[in-house]
Amino acid sequence: MSAVGRSRRSCLAVPGSSPKMLAKAPGLPADQIFLDLEDAVAPLAKPAARANIVAALKDFDWGGKIRAVRINDVTTPWAYRDVIEVVEGAGDVLDCLVLPKVDSPAAVQWLDVLLTQIEKAVGLPVGGIGIEAQIETARGLAAVEEIAACSPRLETLIFGPADFMASINMRSLSVGQPHPDYPGDPFHYVLMRLLTAARAHGLQAIDGPYLKIRDLDGFAESARRTAALGFDGKWVLHPGQIELCNEIYSPDQEAYDHAELILEAYAYHTSQAGGARGAVMLGDEMIDEASRKLALVIAAKGRAAGLTRTSRFQP
Ligand code: GLV
Ligand code: MG
């Protein structure tokens, strides 16, 4: 059921303890939903939330959305039951598990082994359920390269700003926002480190939540910052953030057309018919093999977002 390579521009958090929100989620335009058993669910509500989540996965039509469940972290007494109940109950309609507060490869490997055991026991394809690792502690960031490399089930690394800020003792209560007393972007280091580790191991990089759900300008600023770096998408906590999020993590039409144009122009000019040249002019811009690689990224994001071309290359 793996969702490797699928679009994850917007990843909607849905508390497993809310039957009303679970019922509403299938109709919303998010690329991914994750049904939450962790911080959005009170300890006493977790057993009922597991049952709600299994029923929602089985009973609702989720269309083309990536279906994920966030379990509790490996240091809690809930984690093993989360995995067993959700995967035994609805493993055939589940794409991924989100593992929070990943501090070391051992946490991911524990989940990988448990998933393999359950898949074998219930007759699901072994390795079919992916893992998304939340990097949201100082230890997790310190080990992010080893974590990114540690399991073939891994599909994404996700930045968790709220827990991360707490973990490093950041003096702020404004999650994911610039800090008024800090002259730069306090998250630049963590974002680049996570993104580089993800790309080095073929994983998607996902930005975490923006908590002021009514402040769409603040949300957009926070999303644009990571979309510009190359992140694939962001968590959304409210339906009102979804369309904006999809738009921000898709290339705009002009950039998409330009990327396709570079690919076509470069393919033509490097062919026999085009003179087999390596570096060529496209309008007033010089393009070469590195331009082709950059263009591939934008073109792939545009195609995944369903964009179609509005211009063509003329030799
Ligand atoms: C998300 O889990 C966060 O801690 O920001
Ligand atoms: Mg968190």
What pLDDT is recorded for position 305? 85
Tell me, yes or no, whether 257 and 228 share the same domain. Answer: no
Last residue of a domain, one of 209, 227, 248: 248
Dist CA 64 CA 156 (whole Å): 18
Tell me, yes or no, whether 203 and 293 share the same domain. Answer: no
| pTM for the structure as a whole | 0.93
Number of domains into which the chain is organized: 2
Confidence band (pLDDT; 50, 70, 90) for 4? low
What pLDDT is recorded for position 6? 86
For residue 77, being part of any structural domain is answered with yes
Q: Give the number of the ligand closest to the Cα of residue 158.
A: 1
Looking at ligand 1, which atom is closest to the CA of residue 100?
2
Tell me, yes or no, whether 156 and 231 share the same domain. Answer: yes
What is the extent of the structural domain holding 260?
253-304
For residue 100, being part of any structural domain is answered with yes
Confidence band (pLDDT; 50, 70, 90) for 292? very high
Tell me, yes or no, whether 266 and 186 share the same domain. Answer: no
pLDDT digits (tens, 9 = 90+) for 180-219: 888 889 999 999 999 999 999 999 999 999 999 999 999 9
Is a pLDDT exceeding 60 seen at residue 2? no
pLDDT digits (tens, 9 = 90+) for 30-75: 999 999 999 999 999 999 999 999 999 999 999 999 999 999 999 9
Surrounding residues of ion ligand 2, Cβ less than 5 A:
136, 160, 163
Q: Which residue owns the Cα nearest ligand 1 atom 1?
A: 160
Tell me, yes or no, whether 284 and 161 share the same domain. Answer: no
Dist CA 187 CA 141 (whole Å): 12
Q: Is 29 exposed, middle or buried (0-12, 13-18, 19+ CB in 10 A)?
A: middle
pLDDT digits (tens, 9 = 90+) for 246-276: 999 998 999 999 999 999 999 999 999 888 8
Residue that the structure tokens 């994983």 belong to = 203
What pLDDT is recorded for position 115? 98
For residue 315, being part of any structural domain is answered with no
Tell me, yes or no, whether 200 and 78 share the same domain. Answer: yes
Tell me, yes or no, whether 211 and 263 share the same domain. Answer: no
- Ligand 1, from 102, 134, 172, 187: best to mutate by most atoms within 8 Å of Cβ? 134
Dist CA 228 CA 301 (whole Å): 13
Section 287-306 average pLDDT: 91
Tell me, yes or no, whether 73 and 98 share the same domain. Answer: yes
Tell me, yes or no, whether 231 and 297 share the same domain. Answer: no
Tell me, yes or no, whether 259 and 231 share the same domain. Answer: no
Is a pLDDT exceeding 70 seen at residue 3? no
